[in-house]
Amino acid sequence: MITVLVVDDDFMVARIHRGFVEQTTGFEVVGTASSGVEALDLVARLKPDLVLLDLYLPDLFGLEVIARLRAAGETCDVLVITAAKEADSVRAAVRHGVVGYLLKPFSRAHLEQRLTAYAAERTRALDAGELTQDEIDAAFSSGGVKRPAAVSLPKGLSAETAEAVLRAVTSAGDSMSATECAGAVGISRVSARRYLEHFVASGVVEVSLRYGATGRPERRYRPR
């Protein structure tokens, strides 16, 4: 059983998220917290495997909670669940090593998908003895997606930026546009579009069209 701590300052939202987790096979909620300080205390006492962490808490910003957890030596994984769409928040969350970034509001199916993927990756990590280079590369990519090999990229695309783009897409929690991806990674929209279309052609990412009132439909990207 993977133990989970749910952290959200809205009691009803926390209750809903707790219900979502408890409906997912293999997961057990061991507690809920409504503030950053309470979350730190419960992690120290309950030692959960995974923390579902809102960023907007009344006393501490969620990323500060993660920093304090690591400073205290806590090794629990963190899945961010938040309404924060700012590129700076997404980039900072990636730097803090979160296992996912899910935008509110989301359905039970969306959370279940991420929890199931997390459980599978956790099982592989626990079962592994010595690893191959490919397995090590996969461990450093969001969601267990292998780092794009430099030799497989079109001329002008770098493996480091490709990995950052892929991480942004897989951590977004929903589809994202080339403009949103560019903001998350810190590159131009044109460059982001090139990387995204490469991943579409490679079968790693899928694209859909969002139609507005006027103009061309917007291309939206999500992991396949």
- 197's CB contacts (< 8 A; 6+ apart) are none
Question: Before 105, cis peptide (omega within 30)?
Answer: yes
Using DSSP's 3-state secondary structure scheme, residue 172 falls into coil
Model confidence at 21, pLDDT cuts 50, 70, 90, reads very high
Tokens of 84: 């924060």
- Higher per-residue pLDDT: 214 or 19: 19
pLDDT greater than 50 at residue 149: no
The highest-confidence range among 37-46, 72-81, 194-203, 210-219, by mean pLDDT, is 37-46
Domains of the chain as residue ranges with CATH: 2-121 (3.40.50.2300), 133-223 (1.10.10.10)
Residues 17-28, mean pLDDT to the nearest whole number: 94
Amino acid letter for position 66: I
The pLDDT score that the predictor gives to residue 143 is 45
The separation between CA 97 and the C-alpha centre of its own chain, rounded to angstroms, equals: 9
- Higher per-residue pLDDT: 11 or 126: 11
- Higher per-residue pLDDT: 68 or 166: 68
Global pTM? 0.59
pLDDT greater than 50 at residue 147: no
